[in-house]
Amino acid sequence: MSETIHVSNLQQGYGKTVVLHDINLSIQSGEILALIGPSGAGKTTLVSTIMGMLKPQQGQVTVLGQTMPNRQLLAKIGYMAQTDALYEALTARENLNFFGAMQGLTPEQLKQQIPYAAGVVNLQDDLDTRVQAYSGGMKRRLSLAIALVSDPELLILDEPTVGIDPELRQQIWQELHQLATKGKTILLTTHVMEDAEQADQLMMIRNGAAIAQGTPKQLIAAYHVDSVEAVFLKAGRQQDENNRHI
Amino acid sequence: MRTIAIFKRVLQEMFRDKRTLALMFMAPLLILTLIYFLFQSNNDQTTTLGVQNVNSTLVKAIDNDHVTIQQVAPSASAKRVIRQKDYAGVLVQKSDKLTLTLQNSDQSKSAILKQSLQAAQIKLKTQAMATTLKRQGQALQKLQQALAAATRNPNVAQNPAGAPNVPSYKLTTHYLYGNADSTFFNTLLPIMMGFVVFFFVFLISGIALLKERTTGTLYRLLATPVKRSEIINGYLVGYGLFALIQTLLIVFYSIFVFKIQILGSIWNLLIINVLLAFVALTLGLFISTFAASEFQMVQFIPVVVIPQIFFSGIIPINQMAHWLQPIARIMPLYYGADAMSNVIEKGANFMNIGFDLTILLGFAVLFLMLNMVTMRRYRQV
């Protein structure tokens, strides 16, 4: 196992506003890390920084041994955005073809990868339907398929399970675990606790700071509670108390 | 490779949107056809002039193809007659004083009346002069005859010096560009050819990129190893192709339907319009950065596009106020329209339009740079 993502002493923000501070993070290959936290906590900003869309204000981010930002390295990252960024006038296959080509896949590779990626999200029968006729859940699944199509070393999924029914969610998690056993690294953000419990590692972000980090079992034990949700609530209260003392 | 994929996607999206496609290719032809008919028959305008107590010689002199004369009752007030009968003007004579009252709701009609009246006065003056000359000539002739009789020299009588020899000129007009049938449409067509390409490419490409911004696909696109320049290039090739098709369509429509003669090479027209499309595209993409919605994009039309029409040569630049003239020099359409006019009307070759093309290229490069900078907002490498 080698380290896929390493974040040290990261401070990030827009202009003068600081969104994230003192973030330290390390993910090994084959691990699934879930970033949990309320909306506006800075999860998407952290994800953007790890992908290299934003330059760190302070601190350092390395992905697969390379300092970010690094445009070339984006070919090894499969990204699923929070909003469904799809070309609605095109069919699902055309979307997959286009984004695959952007990732640097050849037409031959695409021919192999598209059925696989569509299969994971159960879209193989709707590949030649235009996206504008898709339901919200189907669009979400297509976004995930686009992230999977290039068979990337690192998957970054921003809220991947929103709008996906429980049955398919189970199926997707199975696939994610399978990918992880093959050595792929997965970083996802969520505010659904069921998702958090499935991850190998958790990082709880609140008000731009990491309030708890570790495996779900470790955290439950350390906080003397019985669920991940309770860990999050307790860690949040502790953060508020600490802030009051300062 | 990525540029080609983006180019393919731009085409796919465009062909799925049949209405936009029809707008891009049919609307220019519709506009040009309208303009063609609007500016065809501006020579046979007629106006009505009421005359009151006016000397019949003068009335006869005023009468021409463009003026219809109506007699007005001697007691009527000029203003009332104009209001009641909708005459363009009424001419009143009191002894040797002429008063012309004009309706002046249509300045071109007023101009016709003023011109006709002036022409009539000149006509009468020359007639009077000719009569005087004739009379003088006759007197001179009589004198000479008397003289000849006195000296018995017949040669003197034949002396033509005193004959009333009013020269009558015959005017033949040659046209360097165009012919006697040239109307304002001939001036307008090359400008409009450039304009429609500029306008549609600006609007449609601007909205297309705006849609990429608002739906998040641009951000998603930049989360791949694609270079910013590859995105812009894909757009350039895609919309360049549309501009090419649009130009060909307009050119052939003009040749076969309007029977317009294009003196220069069609290749040059294509080069100009593709360059103009590049400027429109890069400007449209850049402007779309400042718009948050399609509606806001449309709001840029009066600011960015309409002033360009005024400075594109529809109003001759050298007839503008001096301080206004330099503004034309910062309008891309001015150079495009200038090059188009030169090729279509004067048969300019590639070297002749080189300057205009260079400036257009300069604009495209400038906007291209600005686009690269603004896209940095989404991805900082």
ipTM for the predicted complex comes to 0.86
Phi and psi dihedrals of A205, rounded to 5? Answer: -115, 135
Q: Which residue of A has its CA nearest to B230?
A: A102
CATH architecture of the domain B47-162 equals: 3-Layer(aba) Sandwich (3.40)
Please tell me which of the candidates A55, A75, A85 has its beta carbon nearest to residue B217.
A85
Q: Is A151 on the interface with B (CB under 8 A)?
A: no
Distance CA B6, CA B13 (A): 11
pLDDT band at residue B201 under the 50/70/90 scheme: confident
Distance CA A78, CA A62 (A): 16
- Residues of chain A in contact with residue B381, where contact means CB-CB under 8 angstroms, are 52, 55, 69-71
Distance CA A166, CA A5 (A): 30
Whether A205 and A42 have beta carbons less than 8 Å apart is answered as: yes
Distance CA B343, CA B267 (A): 10
Judge whether residue B360 has pLDDT over 90: yes
Q: Which pLDDT score is estimated for B157?
A: 47
Q: How far is A225 from chain B (nearest CA, A)?
A: 39
pLDDT band at residue B155 under the 50/70/90 scheme: low
Q: How far is A226 from chain B (nearest CA, A)?
A: 38
- Residues of chain B in contact with residue A75, where contact means CB-CB under 8 angstroms, are 224-225
- Residues of chain A in contact with residue B8, where contact means CB-CB under 8 angstroms, are 98
Q: How far is A44 from chain B (nearest CA, A)?
A: 13
Q: What is the mean pLDDT of residues B62-81?
A: 84
Q: Which pLDDT score is estimated for A93?
A: 92
User: Inter-chain contact B225–A103, Cβ cutoff 8 Å?
Assistant: yes
Q: Which pLDDT score is estimated for A219?
A: 82
CB environment A25-47: b (16+ within 10 A), e (fewer): bebebbbbbbbbbeeebbbbbbb
User: Inter-chain contact B16–A130, Cβ cutoff 8 Å?
Assistant: yes
- Residues of chain B in contact with residue A52, where contact means CB-CB under 8 angstroms, are 379-381
Q: Where are the beta strands (DSSP E) in chain B?
A: 47-52, 67-71, 89-94, 97-102
Peptide bond into A69 cis (omega under 30): yes
Q: Which pLDDT score is estimated for B178?
A: 67
**Domains observed in chain A:** 3-213 (3.40.50.300)
**Average pLDDT of chain B, as a whole number:** 84
**Domain residue limits, chain B:** 2-37+188-375, 47-162
User: Inter-chain contact A94–B12, Cβ cutoff 8 Å?
Assistant: yes
Q: What is the mean pLDDT of each run of 10 residues along chain A (246 residues)?
A: 82 83 87 86 86 86 86 88 88 92 89 89 88 87 90 89 81 86 89 83 85 83 82 83 75
- Residues of chain B in contact with residue A53, where contact means CB-CB under 8 angstroms, are 219, 222-223, 378-380
Q: Which pLDDT score is estimated for A42?
A: 83
User: Inter-chain contact B216–A81, Cβ cutoff 8 Å?
Assistant: yes
Helix locations, chain A, DSSP H: 43-51, 92-103, 107-120, 136-148, 166-181, 193-198, 216-222, 228-245
With pLDDT > 70 as the criterion, what percentage of chain B qualifies? 92
Q: Is A69 on the interface with B (CB under 8 A)?
A: yes
Q: How far is B215 from chain A (nearest CA, A)?
A: 6
Q: What is the pTM of this model?
A: 0.75
User: Inter-chain contact B216–A83, Cβ cutoff 8 Å?
Assistant: yes
What residues of chain A, 119 to 148, have a C-beta less than 8 Å from chain B?
130
User: Inter-chain contact B217–A94, Cβ cutoff 8 Å?
Assistant: no
Q: How far is A229 from chain B (nearest CA, A)?
A: 31
